[in-house]
């Protein structure tokens, strides 16, 4: 599905992304973790042809993203509020996105009705423009608009960051459902519990490099926590019990 080759991006002499090779198969569910500045968002943006790589490139379905537009037909992404048209009402935005994918209003409404729980009554028919919604609710709009596109590749950058615990829980189920449907998903997150719970393959980035690429197992969470809690040994020991409780 995704092939990354010799991908490199340098900002002011600092390498922000440097990935010699990465292949993601169709239907995989990828979790992308790493501290701030590890290069997660830059990688997302290069996959979406929003930033020009200094070398190398990204292939989606064996076709380079740069200079082509076919990938837009099966890719849906929500990275930040910059993906939303904020002076529209959520309905108008959904109809716009749905229209691009040949869905009429009724079909879009039907689809959205299935996400009433996820919206928790805060999105539709509230008489607000997207810009007047809270950041968490904007995230909901962004995620729902991705799903509306019925994508083969779904990319979410820190979707758990601004939403309430209930919605986080629901979002995890949504991502799992997408995975069951055979959708390739890439989700970045700082929440290690969520990401190990949802994804079957974890990529750990540090300073632009993928330093760990592992299939999720019962020990993954502990391993990740050990990596992130540098020099805080008692804390790690306490946490290592966690995965058992988390099942």
Which residues contribute to the site for another protein (CB under 8 A)? 48-52, 67, 69, 72-73, 75, 77, 79-89, 91-92, 95-97, 99-101, 127-129, 131-132, 149
| DSSP 3-state of 192 | helix
- Residues 49, 67: Cα–Cα separation, whole Å: 9
Q: Which is nearer to another protein, 80 or 197 (CB)?
A: 80
Q: Minimum Å distance from CB 112 to another protein?
A: 13
Check: CB of residue 134 under 8 Å from CB of residue 126: no
Residue 78: CB atoms within 10 Å = 24
Q: Which is nearer to another protein, 132 or 232 (CB)?
A: 132
Q: Minimum Å distance from CB 56 to another protein?
A: 15
Q: What is the dihedral of CA 74, 78, 82, 87, to 10 degrees?
A: 80
Q: Minimum Å distance from CB 139 to another protein?
A: 13
Q: Which is nearer to another protein, 32 or 48 (CB)?
A: 48
Q: Which is nearer to another protein, 149 or 178 (CB)?
A: 149
Q: Minimum Å distance from CB 171 to another protein?
A: 20
Based on the number of CB atoms within 10 Å of its own CB, is 104 exposed (0-12), middle (13-18) or buried (19 or more)?
exposed
């Amino acid at each position: 599905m995704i092939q990354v080759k010799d991908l490199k991006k340098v900002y002011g002499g600092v390498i922000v992304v440097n990935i010699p090779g990465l292949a993601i198969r169709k239907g995989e569910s990828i979790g992308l973790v790493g501290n701030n500045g590890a290069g997660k968002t830059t990688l997302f943006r290069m996959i979406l042809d929003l930033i020009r790589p200094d070398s190398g490139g990204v292939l989606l379905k064996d076709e380079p993203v740069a200079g082509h537009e076919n990938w837009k037909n099966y890719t849906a992404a929500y990275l930040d509020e910059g993906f939303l048209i904020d002076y529209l009402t959520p309905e108008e935005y959904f109809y716009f996105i749905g229209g691009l994918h040949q869905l009429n209003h009724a079909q879009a409404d039907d689809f959205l009705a299935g996400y009433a729980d996820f919206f928790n009554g805060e999105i539709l028919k509230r008489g607000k423009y997207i810009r007047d919604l809270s950041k968490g609710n904007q995230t909901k709009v962004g995620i729902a608009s991705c799903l509306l596109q019925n994508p083969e590749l779904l990319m979410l950058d820190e979707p758990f960051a601004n939403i309430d615990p209930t919605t986080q829980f629901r979002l995890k189920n949504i991502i799992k459902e997408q995975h069951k449907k055979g959708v390739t998903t890439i989700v970045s997150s700082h929440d290690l519990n969520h990401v190990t719970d949802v994804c079957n393959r974890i990529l750990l980035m540090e300073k632009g490099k993928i330093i760990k690429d592992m299939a999720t197992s019962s020990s993954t969470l502990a391993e990740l926590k050990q990596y992130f809690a540098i020099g805080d040994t008692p804390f790690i020991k306490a946490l290592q019990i966690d995965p058992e409780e988390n099942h």
